[in-house]
């Protein structure tokens, strides 16, 4: 409620609560009027004169925010659903999950993974969708709910920026391989005369495969050390990086209006390719051995804490929670959109895709092991090693049209990368536009994409992979867990779980109710220089320190009479928290009042049980300062 409003005003409007909903359904006589003539925004019910009903006063700022806002919405619910699928189903499902599962117990890994997914992954996914949809704000502005924790949103954006700058460099390498796949013979299939110690299927015998030399020495031109610097950007990869950023810019230039249309292809095409590759891989010699190697359970691994930590890591990495992308997407939903259904569908599809990718990848690796006459464990690798060495090596050995399968595989990887990248970049753009709504979104998008390209040039240098791993470790690793934990504490304990569940009920109409060893970070088993480690920790610190910095900043902002009062205000949601629509905001206030009245009328034992269980918390009144 706005300044000067009294809670009894809401009770007086109780009989007209359904009239508010009629406005959304197009009723020309909704039962209330808004008068801005006195500068306050007075909402009065029709027929209230002489009845004793008091006018409800809404903040003029709130009304103007709604009237002046041109925030987009998804063209239809399918575009939102497919965009979430394209975001969550990314490179982590294809080149990270199969190796993680194999390394942590094979089929037995599914037990801790599904448990973590149900206990942590799905609820977190659900919470972030709810926060974005309820507030209609991105990951920074939504912290009107607990202003003192605004640093969580800013920290997430710093971390997300670090992630998408290197993520696009991976897409650049993928695009390089995509174009190289159109040659008459795949260039990594045969050893070049200039490649020393090379081994291929055409008689050359060496300790390094032709696909490995092609990737590390020809494409990346990778350095063994970076003590003397990282070198200059490789021009071919720079062009591919530019192509990737142009694609992202075109998809995001019109906001969700353009990205929603792209989602149809980004979400569905990877499944077509995965199924084609699975069918082809399953027909190859040795494929069954590879699949069995993937799913054979190692039950003793379930007692290893590292396996459970790997399950948490994979869940966060795969679903994309705590990066701000989910709140960015859901903030463009209508207030009463059924995100409950979407959360179930997307998290289920994510798990299904990980398993599908696992069967596809290990079928191919089983064939590679069969061709080499070695055990499957000798050809298993993760990340870039799987995508750019092991898998291309197997495709090169296909008897029929290996170029076609190579084109499909790398186009699929590129599509998966774009789907995730646009959500990360879009989250940063939306956070900025929420803070500065007068700035044109297309200009902000253009500036962010140009800046992302310029920073990304660092990763396409000979020492770029060193920097990539460093940024990933400090900007996209453990820092995410700190931000996620603080986010949960802020919503569940400070704002209040009861309040949050009540907000969800208002939107949907339904009731809801590790051990790590610290070691020096290395790249390929080699130590980073002390200066690089220091830069990494500095990057980590910049993100984490946003939490206490903005907490102190907000407390100082609210400090007028006493520090305790300022702290209380800093960790209490402001009058701007809630649905942006005036009509929906009034409905929400009425709904909270009804829930409080229900509780007051309950029996004493019922109240005591709620208090003891920590379920009930007083519904806080909106900030009237």
The torsion region of residue 499 among left (phi > 0), alpha (psi -120 to 50) and beta comes to: alpha
Is 416 annotated as ligand-binding? yes
Give 160-175 as a DSSP string.
Answer: HHHHHHHHHHHHHHHH
Q: How far is CA 143 from CA 272, 523, 551, 583, in A?
A: 40, 37, 11, 22
The owner of tokens 């990340």 is 383
* Of 615, 598, 579, 608, nearest in space to 23 by CA: 579
Is 163 annotated as ligand-binding? no
Q: How far is CA 186 from CA 11, 77, 79, 192, 400, in A?
A: 74, 42, 37, 12, 13
Q: Residue 104 in 3-state DSSP?
A: coil
Judge whether 571 and 152 are in contact, CB under 8 Å.
no
Under DSSP, the state recorded for 428 is H
Is 601 annotated as ligand-binding? no
* Of 335, 322, 270, 338, nearest in space to 81 by CA: 338
Distance CA(381)–CA(386), nearest Å, equals 5
* Of 176, 217, 215, nearest in space to 194 by CA: 217
Under DSSP, the state recorded for 146 is S
Burial (CB count <10 Å: 0-12, 13-18, 19+), residue 232: exposed
Calculate helix-pair angle for 122-135, 497-508, nearest 10 degrees.
70
Distance CA(251)–CA(419), nearest Å, equals 10
Is 104 annotated as ligand-binding? no
What distance lies between CA 423 and its chain's CA centroid?
7
* Of 208, 222, 167, nearest in space to 465 by CA: 222
Burial (CB count <10 Å: 0-12, 13-18, 19+), residue 487: buried
Q: Give the pairing of strands 42-45 and 56-57.
A: antiparallel
Judge whether 345 and 352 are in contact, CB under 8 Å.
no
Distance CA(423)–CA(388), nearest Å, equals 24
Copy the structure tokens of residue 343.
Answer: 């959360």
Q: Can you state the percent helix, strand and coil of the chain, rounding each to 5? A: 65, 5, 30
Distance CA(142)–CA(500), nearest Å, equals 13
Is 381 annotated as ligand-binding? no
Copy the structure tokens of residue 25.
Answer: 């359904």
Judge whether 320 and 349 are in contact, CB under 8 Å.
no
Distance CA(515)–CA(444), nearest Å, equals 42
- Residues near 70 by beta carbon (within 8 Å), at least 6 away in sequence: none
Burial (CB count <10 Å: 0-12, 13-18, 19+), residue 509: exposed
Q: Residue 523 in 3-state DSSP?
A: strand
* Residue ranges of the binding site for Na(+): 89, 93, 318, 416, 420
Binding-site positions: 89, 93, 318, 416, 420
């Amino acid at each position: 409620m706005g300044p000067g409003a009294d809670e009894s005003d809401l009770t007086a409007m109780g009989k007209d609560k359904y009239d508010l909903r009629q406005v959304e359904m197009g009723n020309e006589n909704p039962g209330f009027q808004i008068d801005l003539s006195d500068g306050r925004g007075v909402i009065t019910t029709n027929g209230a004169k002489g009845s004793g009903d008091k006018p409800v006063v809404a903040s003029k700022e709130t009304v103007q925010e709604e009237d002046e806002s041109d925030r987009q919405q998804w063209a239809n619910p399918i575009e939102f659903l497919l965009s979430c699928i394209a975001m969550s189903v990314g490179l982590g499902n294809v080149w990270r999950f199969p190796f993680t599962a194999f390394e942590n117990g094979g089929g037995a890994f599914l037990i801790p993974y599904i448990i973590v997914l149900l206990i942590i992954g799905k609820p977190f996914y659900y919470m972030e969708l709810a926060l974005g949809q309820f507030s209609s704000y991105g990951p920074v502005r939504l912290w009107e709910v607990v202003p003192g924790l605004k640093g969580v949103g800013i920290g997430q954006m710093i971390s997300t920026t670090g992630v998408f700058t290197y993520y696009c460099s991976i897409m650049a390498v993928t695009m390089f391989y995509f174009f190289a796949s159109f040659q008459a013979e795949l260039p990594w299939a045969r050893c070049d005369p200039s490649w020393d110690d090379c081994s291929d299927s055409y008689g050359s015998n060496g300790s390094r495969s032709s696909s490995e030399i092609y990737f590390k020495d020809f494409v990346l031109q990778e350095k063994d050390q970076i003590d003397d610097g990282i070198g200059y950007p490789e021009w071919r990869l720079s062009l591919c990086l530019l192509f990737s950023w142009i694609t992202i810019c075109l998809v995001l230039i019109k906001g969700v209006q353009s990205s929603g249309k792209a989602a149809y292809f980004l979400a569905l095409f990877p499944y077509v390719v995965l199924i084609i590759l699975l069918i082809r891989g399953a027909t190859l010699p040795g494929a069954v051995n590879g699949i069995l190697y993937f799913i054979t359970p190692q039950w003793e691994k379930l007692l290893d804490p590292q396996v459970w930590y790997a399950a948490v890591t994979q869940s966060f990495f795969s679903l994309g929670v705590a990066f701000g992308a989910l709140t960015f997407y859901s903030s463009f939903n209508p207030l009463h959109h059924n995100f409950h259904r979407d959360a179930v569908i997307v998290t289920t599809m994510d798990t299904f895709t990980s398993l599908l990718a696992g069967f596809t990848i290990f079928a191919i690796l089983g064939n590679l092991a069969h061709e080499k006459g070695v055990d499957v464990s000798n050809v298993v690798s993760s990340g870039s090693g799987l995508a750019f060495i092991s898998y291309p090596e197997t495709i090169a050995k296909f008897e029929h049209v290996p170029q076609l399968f190579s084109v499909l595989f790398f186009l699929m990887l590129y599509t998966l990368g774009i789907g995730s990248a646009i959500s990360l970049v879009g989250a940063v753009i939306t956070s900025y536009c929420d803070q500065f709504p007068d700035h044109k979104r297309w200009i902000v998008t253009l500036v962010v994409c140009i800046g992302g390209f310029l920073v990304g040039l660092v990763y396409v240098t000979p020492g770029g992979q060193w920097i990539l791993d460093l940024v990933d470790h400090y900007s996209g690793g453990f820092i995410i867990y700190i931000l996620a934990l603080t986010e949960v504490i802020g919503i569940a304990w400070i704002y209040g779980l009861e309040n949050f569940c009540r907000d969800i009920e208002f939107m949907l109409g339904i009731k809801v109710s590790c051990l790590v060893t610290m070691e020096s970070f290395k790249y390929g088993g080699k130590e980073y220089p002390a200066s690089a480690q220091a830069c990494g920790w500095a990057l980590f610190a910049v993100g984490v320190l946003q939490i206490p910095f903005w907490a102190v900043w907000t407390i100082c902002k609210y400090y007028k009479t006493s520090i305790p009062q300022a702290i209380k205000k800093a960790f209490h949601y402001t009058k701007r928290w809630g649905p942006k629509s005036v009509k929906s905001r009034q409905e929400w206030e009425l709904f909270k009042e009804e829930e409080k009245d229900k509780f007051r009328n309950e029996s004493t034992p019922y109240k005591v049980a709620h208090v003891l269980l920590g379920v009930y918390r007083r519904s806080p009144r909106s900030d009237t300062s």
